[in-house]
Amino acid sequence: MIAAVATAAQRQAFLEAARRDPMLRAVLGRDLTLWAGNSGAPVQLYLAGGAALSLSDGCAWMSGLPDDPEELHSFLRFAGVGCLQTPADLRGWPGLRPGVQDTGLTLPPGGALPQPPLPEGFVPDREVGVGEAAGLLFPTHSGYRDGFYSRTCTTVNHGLARLWGLRDRQGRLRATMGADALFEGQAYLSLLHTDPACRGQGLGGWLVVAMANALSAEGWQCVFYSEPRNRAFYRRLGFAEAAPLYAYQVGDTIQNQEG
């Protein structure tokens, strides 16, 4: 039976499921810390047998395997979830259509990648404001921008996230990068984005390596996922491959939707 995380025992079970996941421990641990037991929160947490589920904005992260595949599908449809993301290979499960498979990438604690040269004319900012980052990431989508701002302010204020960036000579933010979740020694990296006007100058490569190296030197294990088209880029920078992430579209029926 799928149940909302509310009691102390349910929180512990969710935490144990998160800890078993080599790539999503930080994401699920952050969500448990911030949102558990709050029915009005933008993130809702559930237990499905041995699986932990975190739902927000029509998407779900899942660690572990639920007991009943058909119950999982029915629940996701009822909750308005259109996309399920999980390291588990669920191809052939009812109601789930396989989508993009992202590559997992990692840098261990104490690791160090070769640092690309800082692009000329740009200055690092290791404490980027959430509002400024939101404006760079979502310049024309106010709904996404407002949601990102609200959730990220909460996460940063609780010490569970950091935002870095690169500024040009005029002080304008031109690239941003985030440790979107910091929990129990793991840092989940995301939000790497460069202003389209400044692409091709090496800002992204410098930023992701600088932030990963800094976190690794503090003892964090850095993890993130990459779309297939960017896999070679991150491999050239020196990140090691880890477990993949599968994305599934949640169908209207429980018929097998593989392919």
Crossing angle for the helix pair 142-157 and 25-35, to the nearest 10 degrees: 90
The full length of the chain comes to 259
Specify the pLDDT at position 252.
81
Rg of the chain taking only CA atoms, in angstroms: 19
Which residue numbers in the chain have pLDDT < 50?
A: 256-259
Specify the pLDDT at position 254.
59
Q: Beta strand 51-56 with 44-48: parallel, antiparallel or unpaired?
A: antiparallel
Q: Which residues contact 213 (CB under 8 A, 6 or more apart)?
A: 107, 111, 112, 113, 115
Distances in Å between the Cα of 12 and the Cα atoms of 6, 36, 65, 103, 255 are 10, 11, 17, 29, 34
The reply to whether the predicted model has a pTM over 0.85 is yes
Cα 253 to Cα 124: distance, rounded to the nearest angstrom: 49
- DSSP state, residue 57: T
7-50 confidence digits (pLDDT tens): 999 999 999 999 999 999 999 999 999 999 998 999 999 999 99
Specify the pLDDT at position 39.
87
